[in-house]
Amino acid sequence: MTDSVTNGVQAIKKTSRILTVLQEQGGGGVTEIAGELSYNKSTVHHHLTTLREEGLVIKRGDQYHLGIRLFELGAFTRRQRDIYSVGKPQVNSLAEKTGELANLMIEENGKGVYIQVSAGEDAVNLDTSTGTEQYLHTCAIGKSILSEMPSARVDEIIDQHGLPAETSNTVTDQATLKDELEGIRERGVAFDNEERAEAIRCVATPVTNKDGELLGGISISGPATRMRGDRFKTEIPELVQNAAEVIGLNASYSG
């Protein structure tokens, strides 16, 4: 790799990390960002100036923030996914029927990305929204996606991201996770017993098209006090499976 290419790659990495800091901290000044990333202040200023010229960040006073142009790019990317256009009505319907939080997720770079989150009348507030990334092994919807992947791909994701714990109930052992994925394949439904957030349970199922191609996953999340008994084990699983089937069929014959 030539020096010019190497420098270009490093510049892209620095830009990406600066954008991530702005996302995580809700904005920041040159000095704050440089300190967080251990970058030279002039380097950070140069990157921020370029990003501002391209409309990707904005400046208020001495603070930089992510620009609406990023939202535009993200919204365009989301619309390119068949699962989003055909899945959004089903997610909204699930939220309305259950009163809980309904979610649609895809996998990118070994993590789950929420592309639609709809809140029912009684839904609790969680730290998930459109565009939020999540470790796949920590939640029912992520595990449902993993269950449809080849074992070699699952191993690659574990090697890349590990199995970090979100709560004391998170599955952090590879063999245990593999056993659970096998159970999900047999049942067609994944359960999350307070594994991503305390006092929150989730029911999910993978979404595939008529050819068996994995598109993503769909889930319902709610407080453990309501997600129990027949509702947790029978009623909601049936709802998410029906929704996944509709999405898969519509995606198969759309366009």
Question: Tens of pLDDT along 26-47?
Answer: 899 999 999 989 998 999 898 8
Q: Residues of CATH 3.30.450.40 domain(s) within the chain? A: 81-253
Least confident of 43-57, 74-88, 127-141, 230-244: 74-88
Of 33, 65, 42, 38, nearest in space to 52 by CA: 65
CATH class of 81-253: alpha beta
For residue 53, pLDDT beyond 80? yes
Q: List the structure tokens of 158.
A: 């574990």
Does the pLDDT at position 242 exceed 90?
A: yes
Angle at 120 between CA 82 and CA 101, to 5 degrees: 60
CB atoms within 10 A of CB 96: 14
Rounded CA-CA distance 220/118 in Å is 10
In the chain, which residues fall in CATH 1.10.10.10? 3-72
Query: Residues 190-206: what's their mean pLDDT?
Result: 97
Band (205; pLDDT cuts 50, 70, 90): very high
At the top level of CATH, which class does the domain 3-72 belong to?
mainly alpha
Number of C-beta neighbours around residue 80 at 10 A: 8
Distance between CA 96 and CA 229 in Å, rounded? 21
pLDDT surpassing 70 at residue 62: yes
Q: Which of these, 34, 92, 87, lies nearest to 64 by C-alpha position?
A: 34
User: Does residue 2 carry a pLDDT above 80?
Assistant: no
Model pLDDT, residue 6: 63
Rounded Cα–Cα distance for residues 220 and 166 (Å):
19
User: Is a pLDDT exceeding 60 seen at residue 5?
Assistant: no
pTM comes to 0.76
Question: What 3-state DSSP class applies to 185?
Answer: helix
Sequence-ordered list of residues with C-beta below 8 angstroms from that of 125, at least 6 positions apart, any chain: none
Q: What is the pLDDT of residue 90?
A: 95
